[in-house]
Amino acid sequence: MALQPLTGSCHCQRLQLTLHGSLQPAESSPRACDCSFCQAHAAAWVSDPDGELVVTASDADALGRYRQGSESAEFLLCRHCGMLLAVVFATDEGMRGAVNVRCLANAGEFAPEQTVSPQQLAPEVRRERWRSLWTPVRIEVRS
């Protein structure tokens, strides 16, 4: 049985996302990164390595990108309302990413969060972990 995609957006609706795949919220524990950036944004991440994440911006000015710390990953934020929606990184096979569960319409349906410490991993180990766990990403800009 095909599952309904998970959908979400920033507060002002200029950025929207759809996570296609087999992720079942009640059986999925978001990963709460303990770095200062993720903690400041109260971010907790979900992904489906066999799915697809589509991030849609209403216009090119809506999509903000920010790199921090090791600069291994790029955070996607709304330039208008400031909400953190996703994190991505480039691989040879294309972009992969994870969704901040807080922006999903059904955020309350997920299992309890699990704290993770990716900054404790060596950069190459961290990237390999992301490559195996994160979702293929497509970013679309409407205008």
Q: List pLDDT tens digits, range 39-86.
A: 999 999 999 999 999 999 999 999 999 997 767 899 999 999 999 999
Spatial CA neighbour of 139 closest among 76, 47, 50: 76
Q: How many domains does the chain fold into?
A: 1
Mean pLDDT of the chain: 93
Assigned domain for 117 exists: yes
The encoded tokens of residue 36 equal 């200062």
- For residue 113, the enclosing domain spans 6-141
Q: Is 17 inside a domain boundary?
A: yes
Residue 1 domain-assigned (yes or no): no
Check if the beta carbon of residue 59 is closer than 8 Å to that of residue 142.
yes
- Which two structure tokens, joined as six digits, stand for 110? 């997920």
CB 89 within 8 A of CB 73: yes
Q: Do residues 127 and 73 touch, judged by C-beta distance below 8 A? A: no
Q: Is 139 helix (H, G, I), strand (E, B) or coil?
A: strand
pLDDT score of 1 more than 60: no
Tokens of 131: 């490559």
Q: What is residue 2's predicted lDDT score, i.e. its pLDDT? A: 54
